[in-house]
Structure 1
Amino acid sequence: MSAVSIYAEASPNPESMKFVLNSNLLADGVSVDYPTLEAAANSPLAQELFGFDYVGRVFIAQNFVTVTKNQPELAWTQLIPELRQFLKSYVEAGGPIFLVDPAAEQKAAQAATAGDPTQQEGQIAQKVIDLLDNYVRPAVEQDGGNITFKSYHEGIVTVNLQGSCSGCPSATVTLKSGIENLLKRMVPEVQSVVAEGITV
């Protein structure tokens, strides 16, 4: 394994820090959010990170890991060197990131929750997914998070906010003034956008 370099990048959520690597952890467009240790059963890397008592959430994307701390009184300046060194050593040693490929896992979960939308709702949902993938996700990933489409039903789009977006003070504003306005403009059938994963 070649040397891994990692730098820390602040996110709009003061409790989250994005650690960017010069190597890939996941396929492009796939990401996984672990709000608890129990949720991280598929990721030995995330489980190890939860071993630090100040880690409250772990988000893994193509080439970065976003760590959200659960102790606001701790300063990132104290925590960054320890987390960066841990991630560097773990990845360089070839430690397992996942037990099962998250892309396959997500496809199975989506198929199970897809339900039976009407053909028209299915077409609208596809338009929304394309807009989120092309316009919204790249910007959200820059901030150390992710947005995933959950459902569309009778004019209401439900999305999941993950990583630094979950619990971010500006997430609700971004959702309503940014994402909702974009979707309403591009897909007239959309009336509102609601999010799971915002902890206010």
Structure 2
Amino acid sequence: MFIQTETTPNASALKFIPGTPVLPAGSSSLEYLDGRETHNSPLARKLFAVDGVRAVFYGPDFITITKTEDANWAFVKPEVFALITEALAGGGSVVVEGTSGAVDTMPEEGDSEVVSMVKELLDTRIRPSIQEDGGDIEYRGFENGMVKLKLRGACRTCDSSTVTLKNGIESMLMHYIEEVKGVEQILDEEEEIAIREFEKFEEKLRKVKGPPQSASA
């Protein structure tokens, strides 16, 4: 099996492409952020045992591995290659039978015309480009003109996630659907904590640097 790798907008995430389907047909994605939650994927459980692996993401035909900041890809990649090859060689599966990934953009009975249009745009125009970057996007609802979305995989923690939402996704949805007034990113508890810690760090830096000095006349 020949596995290709591609970089992503997130320097800590790498996309592994095995050249064979990763998830069952009809599934969009599956994400594991904790080794204790890998009961339905023996491969994910083994990947978390690799020193430096922080998150595992399955797309339809790719696997994105996010490493810790201090881990070195030179040591992580060979082990990941070996585990993916072992799991998929001979037509194997990365998840136990009966496991399905996200199907959040599937039409549902009761969807309004606006929600149906949002889901169609997400599925046909936006999701492919997000998956190209090693991630996925999850529809979480539409309320008061705001589309609620959740970024997954490489896009979940990359520095450009806000830019992706605002400049890419939001502008497209607002262009095609006049009822859409904006996009709201839904964060996990872990992500909210990380953002708060980063804001505290920035505040400390500002205090250390002090107020900007005005140029003397």
Q: Shorter-chain TM-score: which interval?
A: 0.7 to 0.9
Unmatched segments (≥5 aa) in structure 2: 196-217
Identity of aligned residues (%): 31
**Structure 1 position 80, deviation (Å):** 1.4
**Corresponding position of 1:60:** 58
**Corresponding position of 2:135:** 145
**Helix, strand or coil for the counterpart of 1:77?**
helix
**Corresponding position of 1:19:** 16
Deviations 1:117-149 (A, max 9, x none): xx6x62211111100111111111111000111
Count of equivalent residues: 188
Structure with greater Cα Rg: 2
**Corresponding position of 2:73:** 76
TM-score of the pair, normalised by structure 1: 0.84
Asked if structure 2 preserves the Cα contact closer than 8 Å seen for 1:16 and 1:164, the reply is yes
**Structure 1 position 68, deviation (Å):** 0.4
**Corresponding position of 2:149:** 159
The one-letter code of the counterpart of 1:60 is: Y
What do you get for the CA RMSD once the two structures are aligned? 2.4
Asked if structure 1 preserves the Cα contact closer than 8 Å seen for 2:38 and 2:44, the reply is yes
User: In the superposition, relative to structure 1, how do residues 185 and 110 fare at CA in structure 2: closer, same or farther (>3 Å)?
Assistant: closer
**Helix, strand or coil for the counterpart of 1:161?**
strand
**Corresponding position of 1:85:** 82
Deviations 1:140-177 (A, max 9, x none): 11110001111111111111111101111101111011
Partner residue of 1:99 out of 73, 76, 96: 96
User: In the superposition, relative to structure 1, how do residues 196 and 95 fare at CA in structure 2: closer, same or farther (>3 Å)?
Assistant: same
TM-score of the pair, normalised by structure 2: 0.78
2-structure distance, mates of 1:79, 1:157 = 37
1:122-137 superposed matches below 5 A: 122-137=112-127
**Corresponding position of 1:48:** 46
**Corresponding position of 2:170:** 180
**Corresponding position of 2:208:** none
User: In the superposition, relative to structure 1, how do residues 187 and 68 fare at CA in structure 2: closer, same or farther (>3 Å)?
Assistant: same
Unmatched segments (≥5 aa) in structure 1: none
**Helix, strand or coil for the counterpart of 2:56?**
strand
The one-letter code of the counterpart of 2:171 is: N
**Helix, strand or coil for the counterpart of 1:13?**
coil
2-structure distance, mates of 1:48, 1:66 = 14
1-structure distance, mates of 2:71, 2:187 = 24
